[in-house]
A = this chain, B = another copy of it.
Amino acid sequence: MKIAVIFPCIDWIKQYNRGSFSSDLVASIIVSFMLIPQALAYAILAGLPAEVGLYASILPLTVYAIFGTSKTLSVGPVAITSLMTAAAIQGVASQQAVDPVNAAMILALLSGFFLSLLGLLRLGFLANFLSQPVVSGFITASSIIIALSQFKYILGISASGDNLPDLIQTLVANIHQTNKITLITGSCALIFLFWARHYFKPLLIRFCLSEHRASLLAKTAPVLIVVITSLAAYQLGLADQGLALVGKIPQGLPALRLPVFNPALWLDLLVPAILISIIGYVSSISVGKTLGAKKRQKINPDQELIGLGASNIMASLAGGLPVTGGFSRSAVNLDAGAVTQAASVFTAIGVTLVTFTMTGLLAFLPKATLAATIIVAVLGLVDFSILKKSWDYSLSDFIAVALTMTITLLIGVELGVMCGVISSIALHLYKTSKPHIAEVGEIGGTEHFRNVKRHQVQTHPSILSLRIDESLYFANASFLEDEILKNIEQRKALKHIVLMCTAINEIDLSALEVLKSLNHQLKKLHISFNLSEVKGPVMDTLKKTDFISQLNGQIFLSQHMAIKTLVEQELLASQNHPDFKDFQI
């Protein structure tokens, strides 16, 4: 039982049969066709030799098949983490002479350890602090940067930078060096891919393919343009006319090895590695959940951390770059019929075969073609609707999204992610530090209490019922005190305050001190201080202190009972009072 949690592969291996095998095999062939150009392209996007992408697409997939819980997630290099890898390598390369491949391996290893550690400590929930709207905004902004960064390959010029202003400036500065043959190749590839995106599937259907098969085959369009432009480059000798090719790729696989140890460099790469891990994990888990929901398969967030962690450690040992679960490939994997993680293992075998047999052909692949596949892929991720959606919903969500996008576009991905996390948390804390406080009254004929400003309710001049809509903790405790004291000043007839604690989920030590001081002040003013509807866990902590014994009032089970008791008490007091007739509740 427990072994199956650590090795989820045991479950699917046990039930494996011929039907699963053939389904998985078909899916793996289609995914391999998608993966190979993507792997090469994303390695180049990360500023690495193309073959590094292939190395990151073999062992990581196999290891994920052992440790991962999603049956259809396709792990490998993806656009966003490759961009972040590029930014991280550029960041350290400016200070010292750094071998990019070694740096990528360090990033993958650190990511792998970080993710595995989180998984072993069951800290998967930490990923929740990167909110979904912030991730959407970040992906849109990064995709724009990625697409723009690829235009240099379409134009055949040099350009650099990991933010919009730098990219635009260097592109504009060098645009006069545009190479004609590169531009033609790149444009053709771009046009074909955009065309294929919309019209390839209908065309295939017209050729009597079923809708499903046509849809799958259309996804392999990049392979077609890869083959066509490679052949053209080879036959026409386009490299001599300035067309940049992927070039010689070493045949076979390198031996497993650890990145070179250099403490200063590893330390410099630690924060980027953590950011890559978090972004990789958050997007992978959302892909996994989305696909899992379609087939009613559950994924385990903590085990996913271990699966992705192990994949990244393997990516490093294999000489690759950080990997994660990519949306497009995983969706194709599912659509193509993958039923278990074996499909990933077969895909890995497919990629291995390519590295042993087809490197000679890949050498003629124009970089412009790969750039075109990246541009078309990432532009599909650009989605500004999150801006409008969050604007319509709440200002704080909008601020977090807008800030993340702006910083990512104008400064860079790393600061963009950090701003996203920090601004979300800061805005949340800001809101909880100034909580909503409502005066409540009883809705006639019920035992239900609501805001006096929103509902027709019954109140009593000698009793003030307040509901604070937040836990009481250090950031807002004195806010409550100020509010109550302000209210007291305005009401001369006040004899009782009832704090309705339905929304108080915690009272920390700072807040307890404030409540004690409030109790003390109210006692001096001869106003009783009562609580109602205190929750179990909160009551448990209060019982540990002398607050309840010193409370100048009572703790009521419900607000209804509080008001009933206090009103009766007032009536009784007034009957004993000489001016009984004047008394009004």
Contacts and interface: CB of A to CB of B under 8 A. Distances in A.
Nearest to A453: B536
Given A129-B429, A474-B129, A508 B447 contact: no
B536 A438 contact: yes
Contacts of A297: none
B431 A506 contact: yes
A281 to B, nearest CB: 13
Contacts of A473: 131, 428
B503 A502 contact: yes
Interface stretch (A154-162, A305-313, A385-393, A490-498): A385-393
B129 A508 contact: no
A131 B514 CA distance: 11
B131 A510 contact: yes
A2 interface: no
A423 to B, nearest CB: 12
A436 B505 contact: yes
Nearest to A538: B469
Contacts of A537: 436, 469
Contact of A448 (B134, B432, B560): B560
A210 interface: no
Interface in A440-454: 443, 446-448, 450-451, 453-454
A558 B436 contact: no
Nearest to A509: B397
A174 interface: no
A28 to B, nearest CB: 30
A132 B436 contact: no
Classify chain A: how many residues form its interface, as a range.
35 or more
Nearest to A131: B474
A390 B128 contact: no
A478 interface: yes
A479 interface: yes
Contact of A132 (B133, B393, B513, B545): B513
Contact of A133 (B128, B446, B510, B536): B510
Interface centre among A396, A504, A510, A512 (most CB of B within 10 A): A510
A433 interface: yes
Nearest to A429: B425
Given A128-B474, A473-B428, A502 B502 contact: yes
Interface in A459-488: 469-471, 473-479
Contacts of A132: 474, 509-510, 513
A521 B389 contact: no
Contact of A503 (B394, B475, B503): B503
Contact of A505 (B433, B475, B503, B536): B503
Contacts of A428: 473-475, 508
A129 B475 contact: yes
A557 interface: yes
A447 B443 CA distance: 13
A392 B542 CA distance: 11
A477 to B, nearest CB: 7
Contacts of A431: 506
Given A128-B478, A392-B544, A446-B560, 13 more contacts: A128-B433, A131-B510, A132-B510, A132-B513, A133-B509, A393-B512, A428-B508, A431-B506, A432-B471, A436-B535, A443-B557, A469-B537, A502-B503
30 contacts: A125-B479, A128-B433, A128-B475, A128-B477, A130-B474, A131-B474, A131-B509, A132-B474, A132-B510, A132-B513, A134-B474, A293-B521, A393-B509, A393-B512, A393-B541, A393-B544, A393-B545, A396-B508, A397-B509, A428-B475, A432-B471, A435-B505, A436-B535, A438-B536, A453-B536, A454-B536, A469-B505, A469-B535, A502-B503, A502-B533
Interface of A: 125, 128-134, 293, 389-390, 392-394, 396-397, 424-425, 428-429, 431-436, 438, 443, 446-448, 450-451, 453-454, 469-471, 473-479, 502-506, 508-510, 512-513, 517, 521, 533, 535-537, 541, 544-545, 557-558, 560-561
